[in-house]
Structure 1
């Protein structure tokens, strides 16, 4: 397992991947910490808002911040992300605003953000479906000639995100087949958080997940998913490889879901508190803070300022979420098809209008 920062916050070298950190300045390292810290605050507010009845559901990323921020910051502007439903940290890196995420879980719009504006598709609830879509998009990049040109502003790659449970889905394995035989520029990024809802890893696989890649003809690697530096370095290496035309790869970010699968889940029904306590000592944010403090790359003033920034962000999220106007229920028909005046949709629109009108009396 590739690790560049120990749970105690000590830097360690790796013969192959340490060099990918050479271009990082102290400001970049503080930026990684800021990203993780603020994304965790977004996550905390999302959980609280759902508990208060302001969101229909919330999917927590607690404990997985390093994996997501590492790969998110390794991506270039022209790259494209295909998330599942937990990738709030990736969205943060791509420019998705927290309130755009909240609006999706509040159910007041038809997606939350413009995928092409930020280079990230909308969240996908169907397990593993986004991996197929990402593979197809990556094949399209190749057909467009945007791979292996040597132009860093043109060559592009895709990252498809999924969890350990999704590796048992047919969609994911079919994606591996298509990506392998077509040499697609895609990085399959698996956040192995140990639990597929209530099923532990040992009920899903008899071997390490990253070994799956061998059977499809492309490299697989396991990275410490609670180490933001390792996640960044390995992701940067695999993305460079994809953009150069060397095809797909599989990254297994070995991490842990500290919270429930979603706010509709109760993890105390299937896992013991002692396991959670072990992983608390591997917290990705505390790990980087220890390194920044010990190395003198950040002082107490930096952390204090960040606390104030997080408080202000939380206030913005709460006020913005509660203040979101209810959508026009008739608007659900507006963007089903690109072209308006689709006969079936217009028929359904009329039927719904008549149904809604029946309550006016």
Structure 2
């Protein structure tokens, strides 16, 4: 009996990996050309992000932060991909992808304001090429294709990159966006952060596809699977995808095999109800920070003093950012109404007047 097409294709998908969990190099040929300083900067960003994530979780529990989706475990896929871009490239994040847009230029205090639902959190500074996180699952995929089309029409040598979880690949918008990008050979990069669970639903119950990278086949685009706990492998995969996009060779779908150590969000999810202790322990041994730290230590590029310095830097930055967010004037309903439309409808003008009257203005 002949093999099904999906089985044949799955055999062709090879997971790109450069570092083993112990920090040793397993694929020297794939090693990206990075200076010692660039390697140290990748580690700095990951350590900073891990500390920031821990502080954000505490702030959420204290009621000082609103909606928050923890990122611990996914730093390599986030930082590795963002670091492979240039400032003029465009990032379209999902709700977990705050680190990428902050490292791309969004001030941290505005990220905190976004979490609180404050409008200023979404007022992106001039020259920062990001959109605010998309809450609608999959909508960012179509938007990414649109931004990439804009780059192509303007003959810009830039790429648009977007992110989605494994569960999001079951959305119709996901397929529509990939199909459009493939049909027009757009400079787009679609990163699927496969952390194995769509909230509590395991990937095995979401799709029959052997790999999520296989989903690129129907769109006629390049599909790549990468070890998402290996920052160098992620950097390499995204760098090559960006090069293809800049050269007019079309979009790329990258499946990053990763794992979130914490809950889906801080809104009541309890991962112990659907994940085993054994599974969590297995993935924690693949911690992207531990892996890269060991690699750098062997090269004499990272010390405990370096780590502690970044930890203190991150704590201070988070403290200053939350202070700045606290000092930002609270929004009012009339302000929200004023910014919704170019010309405010009469019924909203009436509502605004009612609120102003209550405020004695």
Partner secondary structure for residue 218 of structure 2: helix
* 2:358 equivalent to 1:354: no
Q: Which residue of 2 aligns with 1:150?
A: none
- The aligned counterpart of 2:211 is 208
**What are the residue-to-residue correspondences of 1:1-361 with 2, within 5 Å?**
1-13=15-27, 15=29, 17-18=30-31, 21-22=32-33, 24-114=34-124, 117-146=127-156, 155-206=157-208, 207-264=210-267, 265-337=269-341, 340=342, 342-344=343-345, 346-355=346-355, 357-358=357-358
Q: Is residue 162–residue 190 contact of structure 2 (8 Å, CA) maintained in 1?
A: yes
> What secondary structure sits across from 1:261 in the alignment?
coil
Tell me the secondary structure at the aligned position of residue 190 of structure 1. Answer: strand
C-alpha separation between the residues in 2 aligned to 1:279 and 1:193? 10
**Aligned-pair distance for 1:315?**
2.5
Deviations 1:292-338 (A, max 9, x none): 1122112333223223212322322443344443212211123324x
Task: Work out the CA distance in 1 between the residues paired with 2:356 and 2:202.
Answer: 46
Q: Is the CA contact (8 Å cut-off) linking 2:112 and 2:121 kept in structure 1? A: no
Quote how far apart the aligned CAs of 1:350 are.
2.6
Go from structure 1 to structure 2 and tell me whether the alpha carbon gap of 1:276 and 1:323 turns closer, same or farther (over 3 Å shift). farther
Query: 1:104/1:11 Cα in 2 relative to 1: closer, same or farther (>3 Å)?
Result: same
Q: TM-score, normalised by structure 1?
A: 0.91
Does the 8 Å CA contact 1:210/1:252 hold for their aligned counterparts? Answer: yes
Deviation at 1:110, TM superposition (A): 4.6
Matched residue of 1:252: which SS?
A: strand
Structure 2: distance between partners of 1:283 and 1:136? 35
RMSD after superposition: 1.8
Shift of 1:268: 1.9
2-structure distance, mates of 1:203, 1:110: 39
Number of positions where the alignment pairs a residue of Structure 1 with one of Structure 2: 345
Q: How far did residue 353 of structure 1 move? A: 2.7
**SS of aligned partner of 2:94:** coil
- Cα pair 2:333 2:352 within 8 Å, conserved: no
Distance 1:161 1:259 in 2: 19
**TM-score (norm: length of structure 2):** 0.91
Give distance in 2, aligned partners of 1:111 and 1:171.
26
Alpha-carbon spacing, 1:312–1:115, altered in 2? closer, same or farther (3 Å): closer
Moved over 4 A (4+): none
Distance in 2 (CA, whole Å) between partners of 1:323 and 1:343 is: 29
Which position in structure 1 is the counterpart of 2:9? Answer: none
Hey, what's the Cα distance between the residues in 2 that align with 1:184 and 1:116? 25
Secondary structure, in 3 states, of the residue corresponding to 2:127? Answer: helix
Aligned pair in 2 of structure 1 residues 354, 132: CA closer, same or farther (>3 Å)? same
> Residue 224 of structure 2: SS of its match in structure 1?
strand
**Structure 2, unpaired ranges of 5+:** 1-14
- In the alignment, the residues of structure 2 paired with residue 352 and residue 266 of structure 1 have an alpha-carbon distance, to the nearest angstrom, of 40
